[in-house]
Chain A
């Protein structure tokens, strides 16, 4: 299992590393103390490091721009406590480059309860710059519009100029001071703005020659001392003058910009001045003209023309609309849009892009209703047929009755800006894509990453988790814990934890044991963190889980086994030594030293080794077993040797050893002193041998005697049979010959015959009895029903004669010898018939049922009669050989019948018991196993 998981981690690691190095984002892992433990290629480029080894272990804090550092460390600490955070900061690379970064960081369990920071960080410098530029541009455009609006609504010139200068100041990235310096037609000088007074001699050149004047470092510039002292005292170190000219290129005024550091104008400031100096020029000109005209003629016409000129300068399109906007009176498109010299009514379809027409109409309706300025960004159809963007503004011209007489509108081409915005949007999309890439990365880590919604359903599960479930995305996502195979207690636990994370908005972590689909039960360390929406509410709970079983188990097991071994070693319960292949012992416990007869010091000094410490005839065993150990045999079977102690004593020991794990030279050895066991064993063996011999002899004698007995019985009965038969044969013949003999002679012959018959029967009995064990096959299947039928038909004559009734239940077939069982039942039934009462007709009842004990089936049989019975006291004696309860003159018998029955039952591993009542009847109960389990009597 360990191998599998390490394999898995290895392949996954290689894949992960490839993906990480291929991604254009910085992926890094930062330890809780801020040291860098991992950074991919893209990251190295961002921090301008030549290779990872150059910065491995270095503090990441040093790279963070100082103004962001404290904030960054605070965030890092929070992540190491389990939070997930997103934020922006700046770094200063090793090469000094400043970069704006956006990072998404999550806690990464280290497996020991602590977390590192795993972060995916993007370089957003370009985006940031574009955004800034756009913002500033927007800002300037707004100022421009505001200034123009003020101008048209009869604002004060100085007020208008203030709008412009303060816009320039606010737009700058650093603190600057801006003023507009002006000399009117009458030659009066005045200035508007926060910049200090500047002697005319300094800026006049700029104004009159319409050139820029830059003073990068006032302190060292050839300038009037008073001025220098004055501005330097205010902390101003550099200045810059830019001319403001009219549409006719007449010098009108000068921008004065002061910096707090010695420097050249920045690019941003140049852009701002460029844009606004133009506007300022128009405005100043307008005021001059209006002032002049008003003073001279007060003619509106002129003002209109000037206004147009003014507006034309700042806008791309000028248009006039009827009060209700149904008619466009004129449109001056200035090569941006197609001009119209006469009133038209189809202006909407002609100029406005179809997608924005309704929006435009809506804006117009509002403007008409409120008699306020119409302004809207929308798409238009350009003169070349392409689609462009404009910022359109129309001002209602009101008469003295406050009625709209006309709308006067301008539209600026903002296509470029829109394109920038679009580019930004694309950049943001790109960022989203990056996010998905990040997800791909999460998908390839061996850690489990997942997200729950507030209904405890999985909304995300990475590949590792799906693999653990042995499931697919489709089957698992949207489902709860139970449905994904979590045990009820486990699902319940996580649901409560999710509740807690939602309620507290704080992460939670724990450890759990969970069965993996293919790798079995493992222990995992996990953390749940809240995912917050824009309003700061928890909208989901994200989690990561790391498998820590291996670590835990190995650590624990190692510690335990070490402790156990140490205890064992020090307890000196067993002699233990550490040795090398040369036979030298380099460490041992006291028990070992005592056993081999050296002191610890002598052993460590090399006075003892296997060879001199072992009786020579056993040394080959060491060599053989060491060879096996070196060949890779993990454990050597303990073997017996004799130690040779320095005092000359020999000790029997059992030696066992193994090479230390991973070593080819060093091992650990255990000795067991078996001297006592050995001597005990020897004594025991001797005793056992003696006893065995005795037993064997006794056994042999017994067997011999048994065989002799059997042989005798057999031979005797066989050999006895012939003369008895002959006695009978010839007695019968004599009887025949003496047909006319007297009664006395006849009675003598009868006595000879009956005695001979009894003797023959007894001999037959002894013969059967002595041959039961030797005869008969025991494994046959015997149907007891047919067996009883056969007996009844054999006894037909007697049964009829005695008018006996024999009843029996249906009996099963059992395993055994048919011949012997036949004899058994024949004897018992015969007995029942023989020992019948004279006052009652014999009734014999045979009953049987099967029981089971210890998994074996037994047949219980009873044979009951209503005969003369016997005293219960004799119940056991009747089975003895040659025992008789009744006088032989009354009941014929050999005294062997029941002994034979008992022997047959025993031969079948059964039991037979007799129950009797004098003059009432006898009952024989037999228990026979249905199957014979072979034993030999």
Chain B
């Protein structure tokens, strides 16, 4: 079965970069993207797509932001088991703590270097079956 990833981010540059990096790491990955939190939630809850293996959430999004989206996911029995990685420009401790508190699996500050993003995605895809190993990622 093919691994699937959903990214919710309103920044199209970042979405494009992310998609490119994912496919360079593993061309077989099914990559879904949503422009904000509400779009992500509606496509997941309407079973438009099958439950992805991992969800990446930007924080700063219009309408439903990353935090709201994360809460909704964790409150939905069918979706609460999907590992969520916060994917944001922020590197603030406060945001990292918030992520942990709301049940995110990992907090990734958007890397400046493309290679770093790829390196992280490789780590994530290697541990799709064992999401608890994702936090072990070291720069």
Contact of A729 among B60, B90, B93, B112 (CB under 8 A): B112
Q: Write out the residue numbers on chain B whose beta carbons fall within 8 Å of the beta carbon of A729.
A: 17, 111-114
Contact of A732 among B89, B92, B94, B112 (CB under 8 A): B112
Q: Write out the residue numbers on chain A whose beta carbons fall within 8 Å of the beta carbon of B11.
A: 722
Contact code string A747-765 (vs B, CB < 8 Å = 1, else 0): 0000000000000100010
Given contacts A771-B94, A775-B94, whether A725 and B114 have CB atoms under 8 Å apart is no
Q: How many A residues touch the partner, as a band? A: 10 to 19
Q: Write out the residue numbers on chain A whose beta carbons fall within 8 Å of the beta carbon of B17.
A: 729
- Assess the A732–B110 pair: CB atoms within 8 A: no
Contact code string B61-103 (vs A, CB < 8 Å = 1, else 0): 0000000000000000000000000000111111000000000
Number of interface residues of B (CB under 8 A): 15
Q: Which residue of B lies closest to A726 (CB)?
A: B13
Complex-state Cα separation, A718 to B92, whole angstroms: 10
Contact of A736 among B91, B111, B114 (CB under 8 A): B114
- Assess the A732–B114 pair: CB atoms within 8 A: yes
- Assess the B89–A725 pair: CB atoms within 8 A: yes
Complex-state Cα separation, A732 to B13, whole angstroms: 15
Q: Write out the residue numbers on chain A whose beta carbons fall within 8 Å of the beta carbon of B91.
A: 764
- Assess the A732–B113 pair: CB atoms within 8 A: yes
Interface of B is mostly: loop
| A722-777 interface (Cβ within 8 A of B) | 722, 725-726, 728-729, 732-733, 736, 760, 764, 767, 771, 775
- Assess the A722–B89 pair: CB atoms within 8 A: yes
Judged by a CB distance under 8 angstroms, whether A858 is at the interface is no
- Assess the A721–B89 pair: CB atoms within 8 A: yes
Q: Which residue of A lies closest to B113 (CB)?
A: A732
Q: Which residue of B lies closest to A775 (CB)?
A: B94
Judged by a CB distance under 8 angstroms, whether A227 is at the interface is no
Given contacts A722-B11, A729-B17, whether A771 and B113 have CB atoms under 8 Å apart is no
- Assess the B92–A771 pair: CB atoms within 8 A: yes
- Assess the A718–B90 pair: CB atoms within 8 A: yes
Contact of A725 among B92, B94, B112 (CB under 8 A): B112
- Assess the B114–A733 pair: CB atoms within 8 A: yes
Q: Write out the residue numbers on chain A whose beta carbons fall within 8 Å of the beta carbon of B93.
A: 775, 819
Distance in angstroms from A777 CB to nearest chain B CB is: 10
Q: Write out the residue numbers on chain A whose beta carbons fall within 8 Å of the beta carbon of B94.
A: 771, 775
Complex-state Cα separation, A775 to B94, whole angstroms: 7
Distance in angstroms from B119 CB to nearest chain A CB is: 14
| B103-139 interface (Cβ within 8 A of A) | 110-114
Distance in angstroms from B2 CB to nearest chain A CB is: 28
Contact code string A704-730 (vs B, CB < 8 Å = 1, else 0): 000000000000001001100110110
Distance in angstroms from B31 CB to nearest chain A CB is: 19
Q: Which residue of A lies closest to B117 (CB)?
A: A729
- Assess the A718–B114 pair: CB atoms within 8 A: no
- Assess the B110–A725 pair: CB atoms within 8 A: yes
Given contacts A729-B17, A771-B94, A775-B94, whether A718 and B89 have CB atoms under 8 Å apart is yes
Distance in angstroms from A876 CB to nearest chain B CB is: 29
Binding site for A on B (CB under 8 A): 11, 13, 17, 60, 89-94, 110-114
Apart from A721-B90, A733-B114, what are 6 other A-B pairs with CB-CB below 8 Å? Answer: A722-B89, A725-B112, A732-B114, A736-B114, A760-B112, A771-B92
Binding site for B on A (CB under 8 A): 718, 721-722, 725-726, 728-729, 732-733, 736, 760, 764, 767, 771, 775, 819
| Closest 7 pairs (CB-CB, A-B) | A728-B112, A722-B89, A721-B89, A732-B113, A729-B112, A819-B93, A733-B114
